[in-house]
Chain A
Amino acid sequence: MRSSFKFLLLLLFLGISQKSHSQEKALAPENDLCLRCHTHQTFTFHNTLTKKEDKRMMNPLYILDKDHFATGVHAKFKCTDCHSADYSTYPHNAELKLEPLSTCLDCHGGDAKYAKYQFEKIDEEFQKSVHFQKSGESFTCSKCHNQHYYQAKSRTSSVVGDIVSFSNDMCMSCHSNNTKFQLISDTLKPALAQIHEWLPNQALHFKNVRCIECHTQVVDSLSVSHNILPKEKALKNCVECHSKNSMLEASLYKYKNIQTRSQVGKLNSIISNKSYVIGAYQNTWLNNISILIFLMALAGVCIHIIVRIIKK
């Protein structure tokens, strides 16, 4: 009995370790040297001038979260796949900073392997977006899709909530964070809650609906549209989503009904119930049946009238 319990524990342990292993990919061993410094707040080096070991603070923007990196799509990459190979010596050559970084399209563009994701089309759409219009080339892919941590959540996850929060976190990483927002813009981040004040059940919408549902121009051929619209052009039409299925429709009906009742006088609002969505409650099958019954009733009456006249 005892031994079987231990065996069970062992299985459980193996199961857990297997699970965590599958979520995090092993990082390339070549990265160990870089990550020794670039995963810590401080780094130590041998100061050739003072002949002493020196401890300095790391620029927070250059600190990488190793575990997070291991969950990303580029986890298996070597640092030098994108960064210059010359970074492998320390102190890093100051001129290396002048070298342009590899861009996403350097690998993803014009490659048959990635053709189905249509990166060129995405780039084309992105260039129409408010992000590109306002910030130009300095608004790189990585501003939203952090190259170190990015996951293809909308393709790999089947949990809608995860997809929504992952997608919205991309927007929020700047739009609710002044430090990051000001890397691009000279202004303060917009007051999102205030701007979306018109939106009923704001928190619920923010949690369950992707920002891009209303803030992009949908292109059929792309799974995710990259033409982020300026706020004036964002969708502000409840019926657009709320007529797509009966549950969404019903929630809008209920909301509008209760809302009007709280705004105008009770009796008045009951009478002028504006929550009906035109043609919403039609069912083709029932419609056809009803037309058939209606015609049969009319035919019955007509036949009866004719016979009555003949037999008079």
Chain B
Amino acid sequence: MTSENKIYFYPIWLRIWHGINALGILILIFTGINMQYSSPKFELMNFELAVNLHNISGILITINYLLFFFGNLLTSNHKFYRLRLKGLIKRLNLQIGYYTSGLFKNEQPPFPLSEKRKFNPMQKVSYLIVMYFFVPGLIITGLALLFPETIIEKVYSVSGIFLTAIFHASLGFLVSIFLIVHLYVASIGKHPLNNFKSILNGYHDLSGH
């Protein structure tokens, strides 16, 4: 599936998943901020509409997560997420060194992308944390808040619902921070838009990593 210097990196199911996920997460962050900080002085949009959109997008993202989960399970895509713990710190340091210094000196990236390596170590670690801890955590707490009778009444003297809501909002916040960094790092390449094109057409241009 490779042309001269292009690899077919992102199969169609992955692009569909990524597209829905991107759209859903953007709506969730926007409506989530509106719900969390809503006051008479601060209202980005109608509160009820924000709640409805948040719930719909949440359910959509949950179903979409299944596509991601089973897509990885059933195809060979999961191998890109496999993490070797041995020497991980060293590899991460190399990558951080590249982003903070080597990149500016026009050095070659320490982990050039190939058919065998789709993610550099930093990507791998952050994607694993976000997709296997943050997003499932958000899904579980989000569903629990839709069915509050499933939440335990009290943790010491604090309400379980309150803790679940705080946890949900905190994870949501962390995902939004991830999104900022994710979008920015995607702009690092030969041309800032290269990686954005890749996730749309599936082909990664090796000449512009």
Contacts and interface: CB of A to CB of B under 8 A. Distances in A.
B47 A278 contact: yes
A118 to B, nearest CB: 34
Given A271-B56, A272-B51, A301-B180, A254 B146 contact: no
Nearest to A293: B177
Interface string A292-308: 01100110110011011
A279 B170 contact: no
B51 A276 contact: yes
A271 B169 contact: no
Given A273-B55, A276-B51, A246 B162 contact: yes
B169 A281 contact: yes
B36 A281 contact: yes
Nearest to B159: A250
Interface in B4-51: 35-39, 47-48, 51
B36 A247 contact: no
Contact of B38 (A271, A279, A283, A308): A279
Contacts of A251: 159
Contacts, number: 92
Interface string B127-148: 0000000000000000001111
B180 A246 contact: no
Given A286-B170, A311-B104, A272 B181 contact: no
A281 B55 contact: no
Nearest to A283: B166
Given A254-B149, A257-B148, A274 B184 contact: no
Interface string A25-58: 0000000000000000000000000000000000
Given A276-B35, A294-B173, 13 more contacts: A247-B159, A251-B159, A270-B55, A272-B55, A273-B51, A278-B39, A279-B39, A282-B36, A282-B37, A283-B166, A286-B170, A294-B176, A308-B104
16 contacts: A246-B159, A246-B161, A247-B157, A247-B159, A258-B148, A270-B55, A271-B59, A276-B35, A279-B39, A282-B37, A290-B173, A293-B173, A301-B184, A307-B104, A308-B104, A308-B188
